[in-house]
Structure 1
């Protein structure tokens, strides 16, 4: 097969997933982001037209990477037969545990792309798509639960709960980035405690878990 034929075959097999893989590989191997779409495409043997079929810019591609992390999380979760039987608390726990397993598999890329940006996480353009996906997921959970409640006062605010889910994820992301424990065990504990705390607050139960979470975070910070 000639070089031209190989390039044609590669272009025909190009997909959003493959383009994301190319970009992440470039970043990790070169320890920098590509400066132009032209150079990136030339190195990977594709045309700029091929690139623009899937993304309008590198910014769009970087947002797509985070969206793909979340999409893959949902795919893994929903492939389990048990998932459909879970309550909202168990679903949120499963969401975070699965999401951070995927991040851990891509930790080098995540740490590189977020380095020196921890104070800017809430405003980062590339996380906007992820924020939308997380909030939509949380809204769907609460909406379904609210439909099963007859008393209006017992219904939860979709806006507050979805924003709380996003803030919680950002907190956990920062925690995970700084976690030096074996197999990121401390992050697993933080996930469990923070999710249980949020649901306890929403359920108007005693706030012992808030104190428990505070003690845990203080201990981790001082360790």
Structure 2
């Protein structure tokens, strides 16, 4: 069978995520990965220098897809800035849940900590830009473990909050990550001082509904 003459970034991401999710390990090498999917290894290097770079692109794409999903909704456009951040959380973590085998393997393999992992660097940059765009006036993070960070900028504080949520999600064994939903609701509701329970329920429903409608049909 003739080798594929062209491979796209989307194909590489899909093949890689499928391999990791089903085998619970990375491909042995880029050459092996290329052989399995019938293309020449140099085609991989046209897009990425390593599997780690591919993993970075996957996390960035998960962010971009989550935000794009929300921005397609007329309702999301009417949300206030704090509500948009909360709605993004529910949408993004719904996205993670749909790819849980891959995400959990990669993050647990690297070992998630409060320090920014290099594999999350592009995600951190895009998330930070999103937070800057929202122009939040304050973000009160009420975790005693991160008191040294209380004077951090809004962008940095939001990233710390995000990492705490990501760590909680990784350890969550509840059905459909129900405890993570509660954690997001309670932690961000406090941090963002959201009081309107009806509005909060609408935000949760929108984020999760949009993602399920688009990706689980």
Length-normalised TM-score, structure 2: 0.76
| Pairwise CA RMSD | 2.1
Q: CA–CA distance in 2 between the matches of 1:69 and 1:97?
A: 13
- 1:39 deviation in Å? 1.4
1:12-51 paired onto structure 2 within 5 Å: 12=6, 14-51=7-44
1:174-193 paired onto structure 2 within 5 Å: 174-193=167-186
Aligned pair 1:135/2:128, yes or no?
A: yes
Aligned 8 A contact 2:168 2:180 in 1: yes
Aligned residue in 1 for 2:85: 92
Q: Provide the aligned length of Structure 1 versus Structure 2.
A: 181
Aligned residue in 2 for 1:218: none
Q: CA–CA distance in 2 between the matches of 1:121 and 1:99?
A: 19
Q: Structure 2 regions of 5+ residues with no counterpart?
A: 139-151, 195-217
Q: CA–CA distance in 1 between the matches of 2:8 and 2:109?
A: 31
Aligned pair 1:78/2:86, yes or no?
A: no
Aligned residue in 2 for 1:103: 96
Aligned 8 A contact 1:179 1:187 in 2: yes
Aligned residue in 2 for 1:206: none
Q: Structure 1 regions of 5+ residues with no counterpart?
A: 147-158, 202-223
- 1:118 deviation in Å? 4.2
Length-normalised TM-score, structure 1: 0.74
**Alignment partner of 1:56 out of 35, 39, 49:** 49
Query: Which range moved further: 181-190 or 110-119?
Result: 110-119
Which is higher, the Rg of structure 1 or of structure 2?
1
- 1:117 deviation in Å? 4.3
Q: 1:86 to 1:20 in 2, by over 3 A?
A: same
**Secondary structure in 2 matching 1:200:** coil
Structure 1 or 2: more helix by fraction: 1
- 1:194 deviation in Å? 1.6
Aligned 8 A contact 1:73 1:95 in 2: yes
- 1:66 deviation in Å? 0.5
